[in-house]
Structure formats: C-alpha cells, structure tokens
Structure 1
Amino acid sequence: MASYHLSIKSGKRGKATEHAAYIAREGKHGRAAKREDLIATEHGNLPDWADGNPALFWNMADEHERKNGAAYRELELALPAELRPEQHIALLQEFVEAELPGKPYQLAIHEPIAALGEVKQPHAHIMFSDRKPDGIERTPSQHFKRYNPTNPELGGCKKDSGGREPGVLKNELVSRRESWANLQNQFLEANGHAARVDHRSNKDRGIEAPPERHLGPVGIKKMSPEERSEYQGKRRSA
C-alpha cells in the first residue's frame, strides 16, 4: 500500500563516508543480512576529481568541509509498494533531476521486510551535497572551501543553502514534500494503480484520527498473537 514519508536531515563533517557506506551496504554494513535488502544504488553530478567515485567524494567532504559545516544532506523517502523496482528507479531519477539539479548525489533503494506482517517496505536514501559544481576546475581541498563571490576561482563551490533565511528553507521543504507526492501519484496513475499519497498532515486534511503509533521491532516482539492480528487488521482497514 502506498504511504507517504519524506524527511530531510544533515550530516556533519566526519559522518559522510560512513553513512554512504551504510546506505550502499558496503564495508561493515555489507553483511549478507543487510545486503539482502539493497535493491539499487546510483550516483551522479560528481566533480571531475571524484572520477565517478562517490566514496571518494564523501571522503574528501569529511576531510575538507569547513568545521561544523554540513558534509551532506539526506532525503529519506517511502516508495510506493505498488511500483516495480525499475519504476522506483525512474521515479527517483525524475525527482532528483527536478529537485536537486546539478548537485552531487548518491542514492540507494532498500526493501526490508516489516517486522509485523511480512510486508515489504521499499524506501530510498538520497545523500547530496549543497555544493553544486559550477564548471570551475578545483582540487578536492579547494572544492570545500568558503565560496569567494568576488573571485569564484579562488574559493570553493558555493553552497546554495548558505545565507538563506530559515523561512525560505522551510517553504522550500514544504514545496519539495508536495512535489514528491505529486510525482508519486503521476507514476501510480501512469502504471495503472488506484492508490494515491498525500503529503498533508491528518489535521490539514480534516482527518481527526491520531497519528499511528510506531511500535518498532522490540514492541512487536512483545505482542501476543491476538494483539498482532488486531493490529494488522487495523492497518489493512486504514
């Protein structure tokens, strides 16, 4: 069943390389149990010096990004279970092109099995940099320096999030949430599915139902068979 989720977070300098390995299920995150839920990985818009290697890009971000600066941002997105993996990839490619044009990114699609109900839960992680390449050739260390508006060739790539008011960034997030819902619905309709998603909260939609309680694996294990059956029934009828 299609359900809506979009969240965004930032990762500080020193965290990017490890997180990229996590979403790509590499290194210590590449154990068989974890790799089984990895459906696809992809990257794009990397600067020339990264030579098509996202791990190198994130490693250099960790090493050279300004102290206390965000080395990456990440979008976490629920994917419609009705769509096939290749449709998920096409959906994400179109979203990245529209919402993150030209920005270095790495994405991964995971499809774990829910702890309750043996239901697949496809979702995506999109790591991206706010430093959009501008055609000026730079070394890795210069790429992550402070932008020089007077002489751009002497500074780093400009961060498009820098200097903007919190209200502007909030409005951008609201717009991005709506765009993600609209694009999913376009793909669902184009592929013959009746399901639709809505980015608005229950309150904004005039629905009085409280938000669903997240049980987590520990909470689910504590449930009796009767409680599990009742909970599954409520989810199916929601």
Structure 2
Amino acid sequence: MASFHFEIKSGKKGRATGHADYITRQGVHRKHGDLLFSGSGNMPSFAQDSPKSFWPPADRFERANAAVYREYIIALPRGLTVDQLRALVDDMIPGLVGDRPYQYALHSPESSIDGGENPHLHLMYSDRAPDGIDRSPQQYFARYNPDHPEKGGCKKLSGGRNRIQLRDEVIAKRRHVANVQNAHLALNGRSDFVDHRSLQEQGVDRAPERHLGPARISGMSEDDVRQLREARVSRETPDPSATSGLGLTLGDCVTTSG
C-alpha cells in the first residue's frame, strides 16, 4: 500500500513571500535541487496571474495576527513519471482550494531512510477568493464590508464554522486527496492504494509513523534506520484482497476544473 500523508499548516503576516520562495526553490533555496514543477492559479486582477505580485501585498496589508496563507503538504505515490504526477496534481488542486488564489510546488527529494524518491506537494493558498470586484492590493486585504462589498476587502472563506464543521471539512479533504491518488494509481496500472482513514478506523493496531525529517534521521544509528526501513517495507507491501472492490475510476473520484 502506498503511504498517505496529509498535513495542514498556516502562516502569519510577513511569512507568505518567503515561504513561496521556499516551496518554489527560489534564491538560497535553489540548493535543494528537488523541485519537479510548480504553478499557480485564481489570482486577482491586481496580481496579473503572478504569485510574486500577490504574496508581498498580502504580507504587508493583511490584518495583524491573521493567517496570510494556509498550506497543504501531501505525500504523493512513488514510481510515477513527472507527467503522471502533474496530471494527478492538476486533478487534485481544484477540490482543495476551489476559487481561492493558490501557488504550488512538487518536490521529490531523496528519502533519508531508503534512498528512494519522496514526492510531495506543497499547496499554499489565500482564504480571500476573488469575487469579481476590482480592488487595489491594499483594499483586497482590508476587512470585508458585508453591506457594501465594493468598499471593503475581499471576503475570507474560512470563518463562520464550528468545530464539527471544520472536522468534517478536513475529513472530506483527506478523502478527496486519497480518491484522486487512487484513481490515478489505477489509471497507471498500479494495484496499490492509499487510505485517508486513521489507523484505528482501518482496524490497524499500531502507532502512526512520525515524520522525522533528514536532520533527525542523520543522528540515528544504522541499526535504528534499518529497523525503520524494514517496518516501512512491511507496511507498504500491498494486500491484493484489500484492493479488490475499490471500484475507483477517474469519473467517480477526480474533481476537475471547469
């Protein structure tokens, strides 16, 4: 079975521009050498389809202590070509961000545990979805005016939900990510799949694997790394009986734009 990892983060005022440079490997971040491709979409008119014209005013004009951007970090299946990964990402993004302005990058560094590829998506987006009203950058990130929208900032789509609604939304996003991956795995002749459910919901009696990162792994003994590698191989060995009956097709699973 392929590995499922879905993480949500957010960034405060002043951090979006630098983080966009990080995920797209600009400037000092070029040294990583693991960028496969990147892109963006849904930018407002003042940005002219350029994230470089969107994130700096977001950092400058967004309200203090507000989330300037949110980010999904998603592990993608190994063994797919760049074109196959690009098709998967193109189908996945609309169901995650809708009409919100976004920027993404696909990294594929070498795994610190087994030396294999480690493809994963960074998808950062703003909660302020364009509404057809032309605004200057400063007005765009101002407080929304419900009585006169043209006089205020662009409305944020993140508010007004209780904890249950937020939980259900996260579950739906996880399900969408898994369904798109499984549809593309099947499309490319693969029999493995991912499962968005918790280990407890899957009936698996073990603790979830922690994301250790290269720095922490480099400080581990060879024996500890070997045990991690063997445990991962054991978990990722597909169970043919588990894949039967999934019935996943692109028509059933993939959310596409327009």
TM-score by length of 2: 0.86
Question: How many equivalent residue pairs?
Answer: 235
Give matches, 1:165-204, under 5 Å: 165-204=162-201
Decide which moves more: 46-55 or 217-226.
217-226
Structure-2 residue corresponding to 1:37: 34
What is the aligned-residue identity percentage? Answer: 46
Residue 178 of structure 1, CA deviation? 0.8
Structure-2 residue corresponding to 1:120: 117
Unaligned runs of 5+ in 1: none
Say which SS state the counterpart of residue 210 (structure 1) adopts.
coil
Structure-2 residue corresponding to 1:88: 85
Decide which moves more: 85-94 or 217-226.
217-226
Say which SS state the counterpart of residue 113 (structure 2) adopts.
coil
Say which SS state the counterpart of residue 200 (structure 2) adopts.
coil
Rounded to whole Å, the distance in 1 between the matches of 2:130 and 2:67 is 17
- Structure 1 residues 226 and 140: alpha-carbon distance in aligned structure 2, compared to 1, 3 A threshold: closer
Residue 222 of structure 1, CA deviation? 4.4
Decide which moves more: 21-30 or 89-98.
89-98
Unaligned runs of 5+ in 2: 236-258
Rounded to whole Å, the distance in 1 between the matches of 2:22 and 2:223 is 36
Give matches, 1:1-238, under 5 Å: 2-31=2-31, 34=32, 36-238=33-235
Q: Which amino acid aligns with 2:121?
A: A
Rounded to whole Å, the distance in 2 between the matches of 1:201 and 1:113 is 26
Rounded to whole Å, the distance in 2 between the matches of 1:206 and 1:96 is 30
Cα shift readout 1:111-133 (whole Å, capped 9, x = no counterpart): 00011211110001001011000
- Structure 1 residues 85 and 155: alpha-carbon distance in aligned structure 2, compared to 1, 3 A threshold: same
Say which SS state the counterpart of residue 212 (structure 1) adopts.
coil
Rounded to whole Å, the distance in 2 between the matches of 1:16 and 1:121 is 24
Question: Alignment RMSD, CA only?
Answer: 1.6
Rounded to whole Å, the distance in 1 between the matches of 2:20 and 2:215 is 27
Say which SS state the counterpart of residue 171 (structure 2) adopts.
helix
